[in-house]
Amino acid sequence: MIKVITYGTYDLLHQGHINLLQRAKKLGDYLIVGVTSDSFDKGRGKLNVRNNVLERVEAVRATGYPDEIIIEDYLGQKIDDIQKYDVDIFAIGSDWEGKFDYLNEYCKVVYLPRTKGVSSTMLREVSQEVFKVGIVGSGRIAKRFVPESKVVNGIEVAAVYNPNQESAEAFAKHFDLKPFVEDYHLFLNEVDAVYIASPHLTHYQYTKEALYSGKHVLCEIPFVLSASQANELYDYAEKQNLVLLEASKTAYCPAFCHLTTLVKSGVIGDVVDVKASLSKIMEGVTRELDVAQAGGAMNEHASLNLMAIIKLLGNDYSYVDFYSKVKNGVDIYTKANINYPHATSSITLGIGVKTEGNLVVSGTKGYIYVPAPWWLTSFFEVRYEDQTKNKKYFYSYDGEGLRYEIQEFVSMIVNYRRSSYKLRRRECITIADIIEKFNKKINYTEI
Ligand code: CTP
């Protein structure tokens, strides 16, 4: 019996796929088709895939050609599969000509003619509505958003709003956008959705007005600084059937998503401790060091680090305590312990103190180590007492990493999903609640 294997994403299954599967089947007696997993596609930069893995598997099965379907989940898997399934022929479309010659060592490699004039990319482009997005704020993070948005289908950055005329105009000129300076509502009329990247204390008002104008909102961290404000905004977004998403970028990146599912599936046993840290020395006259602009290590860095803890340990913590070093009214260093009935956790944050920026998740069977900078997760290791069982996971963290949150935002809008399992409403509210507790304490006691 001659065994043939072929691989693909098979998004929005089209005639090109069907022809390819038919040709591959004709090469032998038994056809195995490898369909990429969702996380594998994201990890290799294929962000815009429309159908999820189950839909794609079903579509491939419905062609009637495969005798067996497997999931492709990691780089290098083809070599494993060819040996495991005793494959005679590896077949793939001619767009890959030469790229898989290295597999000749394991079986025969055949490049089959590709069907002209159709591809999943093409189908995605023609069927996708394009949303106009406006950016509120034109600072450092806003600058990263525009290039990152270009790799995501279905979004076009059209306008920028900043009450500071010079800044709005310079940004608009640089990225070829329409600037708005005075009237926020005129700006809102111009777009379908907004990305809020303005100073912390303006997030609440800008988000509220955008939602009231019927616009979807992606808001930078820290979303808002109080649980009641977060609650109010989510309530309103839900009532209006709008997407409201906190741009906690790490929550959406492939490696971190995989880390959370591994932990939840018990690879390190019961989680007993999570430690997350992030520090960046800030100097000079800057918003981060200004008490009037909600500066400080906690407001600046807590969101991402609390996000990791809450994703892994949940919302129901028992109590939280803080230790800070304060300079000119802002915490230049804060350590917070967030205790749970079943576990403990801490965040260590600095804007005037430097420390290691890693993430360690400790469990009863082993631990996960993510080296600094953990929030740009591209690699982590699961470690055990018996080191021969340790496992390293590598992912790509493409560009500035904002593309993953942008993709989730667009996918929620397009697919009428109003909640993201990657960062739930309740989790955002818990983050805001802990930040609020800290700000109340620091205002009263000057720790
Ligand atoms: N294929 C083909 N003819 C086409 C499109 C794809 O023969 N017009 C083949 C590919 O060469 C590959 C298989 O179908 O062997 C699965 O390809 P996949 O990457 O899933 O499809 P594309 O349409 O190329 O997807 P994308 O546009 O996302 O790259």
Query: 256-446, superfamily in CATH?
Result: Dihydrodipicolinate Reductase; domain 2 (3.30.360.10)
119 in contact with ligand 1, CB cutoff 6 A: yes
Residue with CA nearest ligand 1 atom 25: 120
Work out the average pLDDT over 6-33. Answer: 98
In eight-state DSSP terms, residue 152 is: S
Is the peptide bond prior to 222 cis by the omega test (within 30 degrees of 0)? yes
Tens of pLDDT, residues 43-53: 888 888 889 99
Tens of pLDDT, residues 84-141: 999 999 999 999 999 999 999 999 999 999 999 999 999 988 877 889 999 999 998 8
Q: How far, in Å, CA of 40 to CA of 23, rounded?
A: 26
Tokens of 271: 């989680």
Tens of pLDDT, residues 192-234: 999 999 999 999 999 999 999 999 999 999 999 999 999 999 9
Query: Above pLDDT 70, what percent of the chain?
Result: 99
Q: How far is the CA of 122 from the centre of ligand 1 (A)?
A: 11
Q: How far is the CA of 119 from the centre of ligand 1 (A)?
A: 6
297 pLDDT above the threshold of 60 = yes
Quickly count: other Cβ atoms within 10 Å of residue 82's Cβ: 21
Q: How far is the CA of 50 from the centre of ligand 1 (A)?
A: 14
237 closest CA partner among 69, 26, 413, 106: 413
pTM of the model: 0.86
189 pLDDT above the threshold of 90 = yes
93 in contact with ligand 1, CB cutoff 6 A: yes
pLDDT at residue 443, as a whole number: 63
Task: Give the DSSP per-residue string, 249-311.
Answer: GGGGSHHHHHHHHHHHTTTT-SEEEEEEEEE----SS-GGG-GGGT-SHHHHHHHHHHHHHHH
Quickly count: other Cβ atoms within 10 Å of residue 11's Cβ: 24
446 pLDDT above the threshold of 60 = no
9 in contact with ligand 1, CB cutoff 6 A: yes
Tens of pLDDT, residues 345-365: 999 999 999 999 999 999 999
What ligand 1 atom has the least distance to the C-alpha of 6? 15
Domain ranges of the chain: 3-123, 129-250, 256-446
317 falls in which pLDDT band (50, 70, 90)? very high
Q: How far, in Å, CA of 111 to CA of 91, rounded?
A: 6
445 falls in which pLDDT band (50, 70, 90)? low
Compute the C-alpha angle 38/40/43, nearest 5°.
Answer: 110
Q: Domain 3-123 carries which CATH code?
A: 3.40.50.620
29 pLDDT above the threshold of 80 = yes
16 in contact with ligand 1, CB cutoff 6 A: yes
pLDDT at residue 120, as a whole number: 94
405 in contact with ligand 1, CB cutoff 6 A: no
Give CA separation, 108 vs 90, 96, 111, 152, 160, in Å. Answer: 6, 15, 10, 36, 54
Q: How far is the CA of 208 from the centre of ligand 1 (A)?
A: 43
376 falls in which pLDDT band (50, 70, 90)? very high
Tens of pLDDT, residues 246-289: 999 999 998 999 999 999 999 999 999 999 999 999 999 888 99
Work out the average pLDDT over 151-170. Answer: 95
What ligand 1 atom has the least distance to the C-alpha of 114? 7
56 pLDDT above the threshold of 80 = yes
* Residue 231 C-alpha from the chain's centroid: 23
Residue with CA nearest ligand 1 atom 9: 93
pLDDT at residue 147, as a whole number: 94
Residue 340 — φ and ψ, nearest 5°?
-120, 160
367 pLDDT above the threshold of 80 = yes
Q: How far, in Å, CA of 380 to CA of 382, rounded?
A: 7
pLDDT at residue 48, as a whole number: 87
Q: How far is the CA of 96 from the centre of ligand 1 (A)?
A: 9
Q: Do domains 129-250 and 256-446 have the same CATH topology?
A: no
Q: Does domain 129-250 have CATH number 3.40.50.720?
A: yes
Residue with CA nearest ligand 1 atom 17: 8
Work out the average pLDDT over 142-166. Answer: 94
Tens of pLDDT, residues 163-186: 999 999 999 999 999 999 999 999
Tens of pLDDT, residues 64-85: 999 999 999 988 999 999 999 9
Site to probe by mutation for ligand 1, drawn from 4, 13, 14, 20 as the one with most ligand atoms within 8 Å of Cβ, is: 20
Helix, strand, coil shares, percent, the chain, to 5 = 40, 25, 35
Q: How far is the CA of 4 from the centre of ligand 1 (A)?
A: 17
Work out the average pLDDT over 130-158. Answer: 93
Q: Using CA of residue 248, residue 253, residue 256, residue 260, what is the dihedral sign?
A: positive
**Residue keyed to tokens 């200004």:** 290
E strand or H helix that includes residue 30 = strand 30-36
444 pLDDT above the threshold of 90 = no
288 in contact with ligand 1, CB cutoff 6 A: no
Tens of pLDDT, residues 390-418: 999 988 788 889 999 999 999 999 888 99
